[in-house]
Amino acid sequence: MGEGQLDVAEEDLSSLNTLDAELESAIESGDESAFRTALHALLDNVRKVGRPLAADSLEPSELILPPADAHIDEVRSMLGDEGLIPD
């Protein structure tokens, strides 16, 4: 996201995984509009549920999300076996 680190509670991962699945589906279909909508929904939700860490904090990151203006091919290359948000 390029916005610093956020701590996301374990209980919020389920809703993020749902949005991640929608993003994966849009990428697989090649639907740019659906991709853009799904990416923004995922990023918005992470911002909503995530707790910002201090700027000087260097916590290990379990997941790295693309910026809002990322290209569909860029995000496709970031997807692992479990999408962007591991189960």
Range of the domain at 57: 10-79
Is residue 31 situated within a structural domain?
yes
pLDDT at 2: 58
Structural domain tally of the chain? 1
Is 1 contained in some domain? no
Q: Compute the distance between CA of residue 9 and CA of residue 40 in angstroms, rounded to an integer.
A: 20
In a domain, 55, yes or no: yes
Q: Tokens 């090649």, residue?
A: 30
Per residue in 27-81, pLDDT (tens digit) is 999 999 999 999 999 999 999 999 998 888 877 777 889 999 999 999 999 887 7
What is the largest distance, in Å, between two alpha-carbon atoms of the chain? 40
Closest listed residue to residue 61, CA positions, set 42, 75, 46, 81: 46
- Stated pTM of the model: 0.87
17, part of any domain:
yes
Return all residues near 10 (Cβ < 8 A) that are at least 6 apart: none
87 assigned to some structural domain: no
42 falls within a domain: yes
Residue 85 pLDDT class (50, 70, 90 cuts): confident
